[in-house]
Structure 1
């Protein structure tokens, strides 16, 4: 596997895990059932929106970018997730939309920001050859 393929798969995996963490924490905080079916019902709208976001933002070109594609992925994941939830008869209470917006920003943009800062820091510490 090439380094660029590995980078893309790593970023995609981190995004998938970020949406899963969002769902697990949310379901846990509301004492929702811990069944796989319950988890998937809550997760699929955000996972589908994330996939759409990867396509729209062409995220594989710069997968670790906090601004682009990070901001685009965040907006599409939240908006698309809420749209898919509505279309499937799930709730989109305003408090949920606000929490989802904030938490997904922290998760989807946050890991990219941390990775970018670590990358910059390691590049400044590496002596020129």
Structure 2
């Protein structure tokens, strides 16, 4: 493998890592924003209706605890009971599904492209002989 091909493979690996990192960072920001929105909503509820309303809200949310995968699914369909669940769920989708999936797809495209170049190179050498 020539130095030029090695550099191209390294650049594409850096690109894959950059894309995955940006998507994961976006997901983290969405999760943190969802937590902040949830806290702000609870504070608004406390100011408007008092501590009993916040306790009732938290008891209602706690009574509908879901496993993590179910939470991710329910959050994007709008069936979660917490105010900030949608943003948190979308953030978790970015971190745990979209970022790894995009990295895997980019690596597969890079691998298939390198394989195609190797096949074309072998065919050219075979035709020359």
Structure exhibiting the larger radius of gyration computed from Cα positions:
2
Structure 1-normalised TM-score? 0.37
Which structure has more RCO (C-alpha within 8 Å, separation ≥ 6)?
2
Q: Which structure's residues are more often helix, by fraction?
A: 2
Structure 2-normalised TM-score? 0.37
